[in-house]
């Protein structure tokens, strides 16, 4: 069903745009706070092997936050807008095709699609884990003062390319899952005729 393919794709994209920057932001805040605390309380042990000083770490984290924080906020807002658009597009498509109980079909189809997407993701995790074999490396030219990686000199092209490919495959799979889930729930909530719901009386011989 077209409503499921369109709406679940949009709702999945909106949810991902909302959750990924939120989780990354919280994780980054925790890690930066922890590292800064360790560096400030034990500066001699922290840079005993030529590591960065607390001031250099503060500059690196400030640079990272100033670079990514506007993108995080923009992604959060965009994710909410796309999710709401996906929800109302489902209602509009279902009502235009005169589907019975479009709200119930949308929410129940969303629940079925989430479960199906979770199971499929669990089954395909060994395949997606192959992409984790590649890890970015900082060369000597990518390091700033004090051995802190410089964000301006790092090439993010492979990371962006791999992320775009995985996102495209995920959108296609989510569209198929949503199509089946919405079709199933539309069939389950279809308006039954009186002849189907009321048993017919047997003829008296």
Residue 72 CA to residue 140 CA, distance in Å, equals 29
Q: Look at residues 187, 198, 40 and name the one whose alpha carbon lies nearest to residue 105.
A: 187
Are residues 53 and 36 in contact, defined by beta-carbon separation less than 8 angstroms?
no
Three-class DSSP labels, 44-58: HHHCCCCCCCHHHHH
- The two tokens of residue 122 are 């669990």
Q: Look at residues 75, 11, 66, 46 and name the one whose alpha carbon lies nearest to residue 148.
A: 46
- The two tokens of residue 88 are 């109302």
What's the predicted TM-score (pTM) here?
Answer: 0.68
Say what the pLDDT of residue 126 is: 63
189 three-class SS: coil
Residue 4 CA to residue 113 CA, distance in Å, equals 9
Which pLDDT tens digits describe the chain residue by residue (205 residues)? Answer: 788 999 999 999 899 889 988 888 888 888 878 777 776 776 666 555 555 666 666 777 777 777 888 888 999 999 999 999 999 999 999 999 899 899 999 999 999 999 998 888 777 666 656 555 555 554 544 444 444 455 555 556 666 776 777 778 878 888 999 999 999 999 998 877 655 555 555 555 4
Say what the pLDDT of residue 142 is: 47
Say what the pLDDT of residue 52 is: 63
Say what the pLDDT of residue 193 is: 65
Say what the pLDDT of residue 161 is: 72
149 three-class SS: strand
């Amino acid at each position: 069903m077209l409503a499921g393919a369109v709406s679940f794709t949009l709702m999945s994209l909106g949810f991902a745009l909302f959750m990924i920057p939120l989780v990354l932001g919280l994780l980054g805040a925790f890690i930066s706070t922890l590292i800064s605390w360790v560096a400030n309380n034990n500066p001699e042990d922290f840079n005993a092997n030529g590591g960065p000083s607390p001031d250099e770490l503060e500059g690196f984290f400030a640079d990272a936050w100033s670079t990514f924080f506007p993108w995080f906020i923009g992604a959060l807002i965009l994710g909410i807008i796309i999710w709401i658009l996906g929800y109302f597009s489902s209602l509009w498509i279902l009502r235009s095709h005169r589907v019975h109980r479009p709200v119930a079909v949308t929410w129940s189809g969303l629940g079925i699609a989430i479960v199906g997407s979770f199971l499929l993701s669990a089954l395909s995790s060994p395949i997606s884990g192959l992409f984790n074999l590649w890890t970015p490396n900082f060369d000597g030219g990518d390091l700033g003062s004090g051995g802190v990686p410089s964000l301006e000199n790092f090439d993010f092209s492979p990371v962006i390319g791999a992320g775009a490919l995985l996102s495209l495959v995920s959108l296609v799979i989510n569209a198929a899952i949503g199509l089946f889930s919405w079709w199933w729930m539309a069939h389950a909530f279809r308006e039954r005729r009186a002849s189907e719901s009321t048993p017919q009386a047997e003829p008296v011989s």
